[in-house]
Amino acid sequence: MAPLLLAEALVENVAASSRKLIAFQSSRMGSNAEAASPGYYAYRASKAALNKITGSLATELRPRGITVVTLHPGWVRTDMGGANADISVDECVDGQQAFFCTVSLKQTGGFYSYDGRAIAW
Ligand SMILES: NC(=O)c1ccc[n+]([C@@H]2O[C@H](COP(=O)([O-])OP(=O)(O)OC[C@H]3O[C@@H](n4cnc5c(N)ncnc54)[C@H](OP(=O)(O)O)[C@@H]3O)[C@@H](O)[C@H]2O)c1
């Protein structure tokens, strides 16, 4: 619920901004289309819930011109991702920032990888 509450708290700021974009940090572990693997049950469920929230919030905020997307950051070498992960924090952030520059209202409600590729729900 924290991302939703944060979005609600800041929505007027977003509406007043030029970019009008809300991007949630999800994970492909919350995708129902991904091959099911065991473990991380609460984590998977929380990210699936966040993805569902993205769709509803996108519908609500579309008339105000606000784009809402949910992201998979890649498998990133952070404390959580560990040293064996695929990409560095810089690669993740560079990819996400490039995506933020191009994503538009046509893509609202979507689920995207850090490099802008669409991810199946
Ligand atoms: N790394 C990956 O491969 C990967 C893959 C998919 C999705 N993600 C998602 O990407 C996001 C960032 O993950 P990460 O890899 O950067 O994780 P991380 O290295 O474990 O860092 C998590 C950050 O969240 C902060 N945090 C945790 N609980 C908090 C709370 N209750 N209130 C405020 N701050 C809190 C931590 O603060 P402190 O440092 O103060 O503890 C830390 O800065 C997460 O949503 C994660 O699910 C990551």
In the DSSP assignment, the letter for residue 81 is: T
Domain spans in the chain, listed from the N-terminal domain onward? 2-9+19-113
How much distance in Å is there from the Cα of 25 to the middle of ligand 1? 9
Ligand 1 atom nearest 75 alpha carbon? 3
Tell me how many degrees the CA angle 113-10-76 measures, rounded to the nearest 5. 25
- Digits of tens for pLDDT over the chain (121 positions)? 999 999 999 999 999 999 999 999 999 999 989 877 889 999 999 999 999 999 999 999 999 999 999 999 999 999 999 999 999 999 999 999 999 999 999 999 999 999 999 999 8
Residue 21 near residue 67, CB atoms below 8 Å? yes
Class in CATH terms, 2-9+19-113: alpha beta
How much distance in Å is there from the Cα of 63 to the middle of ligand 1? 31
Residue having the nearest C-alpha atom to atom 11 of ligand 1: 25
